[in-house]
Structure 1
Amino acid sequence: MDTTINTARPGQQGSGRAVIKTKFTNPGWGSSNSLSLSTSDVRCDTALPGSTRKAGCVNSGYTPEMVYSKSGPYPELAKHIEHGQNAKNLPGKHGTNRFLTRLTDKEKRKANQKKACPPSLPRPPGKSCDEYPFASTWQGASTGGGDFSRRMINARQNSKGGSALNNFYTYNRIIEKDRFLVWIKP
Structure 2
Amino acid sequence: MRRGNDSTGEKTRGTEGAAGGAGGDSSSDAFGPRGNPRAFHQSRCRQGRDDGSPYFDVSLDRRMPGVLAFAVRSVWSDQGQVQQPGRPRWFPFLSFPSTNELTNPDGHGKRTQFLNGPIYWSAAGGAHPVVNHFLAAWARHGYEGGYIGYPTTDEIVNADGVGRRQEFTGAAIYWRLNEAYSIGGAIRDKWAAMGGESGALGYPITDELPGVRHGGRYNDFTNGTTAWKPMYERDIAYSLIRCDQALTAGQIGCIFPAEIPLLPYYDPYRLGQLAGHIAAAQASGIPGDYEADLPLHKGTREAETENRDNACKTNPRVPSVRSDRDCDEYPFASAREGAASGGTERTFQGCGLPLVAQNLPNGSPITGPRYSICLINPSHNRSGGGDARWFYHHNRVLMDDPFYVDVMSGSLPTGSP
Cα deviation, 1:5-29, whole Å, max 9, x if unaligned, reads xxxxxxxxxxxxxxxxxxxxxxxxx
2:298 to 98, 102, 127: 102
User: Which one has the bigger helix percentage?
Assistant: 2
Amino acid at match of 2:279: E
Higher-RCO chain (CA-CA 8 Å, sequence separation at least 6): 1
Amino acid at match of 1:178: D
Alpha-carbon distance between aligned partners in 1 of 2:267 and 2:280, rounded to the nearest angstrom: 12
Task: Give secondary structure in 1 for the equivalent of 2:255.
Answer: strand
Structure 1 unaligned regions, length at least 5 = 1-37
Contact 1:70 1:79 (C-alpha < 8 Å) held by counterparts? no
Q: Quick one: structure 1 residues 133 and 39, their matched pair in 2 at CA, closer, same or farther if it must change by over 3 Å?
A: closer
Contact 1:68 1:185 (C-alpha < 8 Å) held by counterparts? yes
User: Which one has the bigger strand percentage?
Assistant: 1
2:239 maps to 40
Q: Moved runs in structure 1, 4+ residues, more than 4 A? A: none
Alpha-carbon distance between aligned partners in 1 of 2:382 and 2:312, rounded to the nearest angstrom: 14
Alpha-carbon distance between aligned partners in 2 of 1:153 and 1:164, rounded to the nearest angstrom: 17
Contact 2:329 2:371 (C-alpha < 8 Å) held by counterparts? yes
Alpha-carbon distance between aligned partners in 1 of 2:406 and 2:238, rounded to the nearest angstrom: 27
Contact 1:138 1:144 (C-alpha < 8 Å) held by counterparts? no
Written as runs of structure 1 = structure 2, the 5 A alignment for 1:110-149 is 110-119=305-314, 121-122=318-319, 123-143=321-341, 145-146=343-344, 147-149=370-372
1:7 maps to none
C-alpha displacement of 1:107: 2.2
C-alpha displacement of 1:171: 0.6
Written as runs of structure 1 = structure 2, the 5 A alignment for 1:61-100 is 61-69=258-266, 71-86=268-283, 88-100=284-296
C-alpha displacement of 1:126: 2.0
Q: Quick one: structure 1 residues 71 and 156, their matched pair in 2 at CA, closer, same or farther if it must change by over 3 Å?
A: closer
C-alpha displacement of 1:118: 2.5
Alpha-carbon distance between aligned partners in 1 of 2:239 and 2:342, rounded to the nearest angstrom: 31
Give % identity: 34
Tell me the TM-score normalized by structure 1: 0.72
Alpha-carbon distance between aligned partners in 1 of 2:267 and 2:393, rounded to the nearest angstrom: 23
Give the structure with higher Rg (CA): 2
Task: Give secondary structure in 1 for the equivalent of 2:334.
Answer: coil
Alpha-carbon distance between aligned partners in 1 of 2:333 and 2:261, rounded to the nearest angstrom: 18
Structure 2 unaligned regions, length at least 5 = 1-236, 345-369, 410-417
Q: Quick one: structure 1 residues 39 and 140, their matched pair in 2 at CA, closer, same or farther if it must change by over 3 Å?
A: closer
Q: Establish whether residue 153 from structure 1 lines up as the match of residue 376 from structure 2.
A: yes
1:184 maps to 407
Q: Quick one: structure 1 residues 98 and 53, their matched pair in 2 at CA, closer, same or farther if it must change by over 3 Å?
A: farther
Tell me the TM-score normalized by structure 2: 0.33
Amino acid at match of 2:258: G
Alpha-carbon distance between aligned partners in 2 of 1:144 and 1:97, rounded to the nearest angstrom: 21
The alignment yields a C-alpha RMSD, in angstroms, of 1.9
Cα deviation, 1:107-145, whole Å, max 9, x if unaligned, reads 211110111113452153221100000010110000254
C-alpha displacement of 1:72: 4.4
